[in-house]
Amino acid sequence: MSARFVIAAAASLFGGGLPAIAAQEAALVEAGARIARESCISCHAVEAGDGKSAGRRQTGDAPAFGAIAAMPSTTEVAIKVFLQTPHPNMPNIMLTQAEIDALTAYILDFRNR
């Protein structure tokens, strides 16, 4: 196999899929925003898609999602583990794996704003 063939194959494989991947990521972030508005808004400040606040934080202890995303210890794995582990300062909200993935994508998206 020539190097040109390998490069052309890789470019078509990865280059053509980037818009689709970006669209999937955007849909995941929007699903996470919807979950946050439905399940998290009573304690956390939740932003609407236009950057405006969709709700107010109602307790002094719950950090805003942007603050969580900015923490150096925040990783995709850390968020997912946190959401699957009971914590005394958080209500026991039962989320599916898909909801956890979406909420994680939403929180991490604050790094791109």
Kindly report the CATH number that applies to the domain delimited by 3-112.
1.10.760
Longest CA pairwise span in the chain (Å) = 62
Chain centroid to CA 49: 13
Rounded to two decimals, what is the model's pTM? Answer: 0.74
pLDDT in tens, 4-63: 444 444 455 555 566 778 889 999 999 999 999 999 888 888 775 545 455 555 556 788
Torsions phi, psi for 31 (to 5 deg): -65, -40
Give the per-residue pLDDT at 96: 96
Structure letter (DSSP) for residue 46 = E
User: CA-to-CA distance for 41 and 53, rounded, in angstroms?
Assistant: 10
Ordered by start, the domain boundaries in the chain are: 3-112
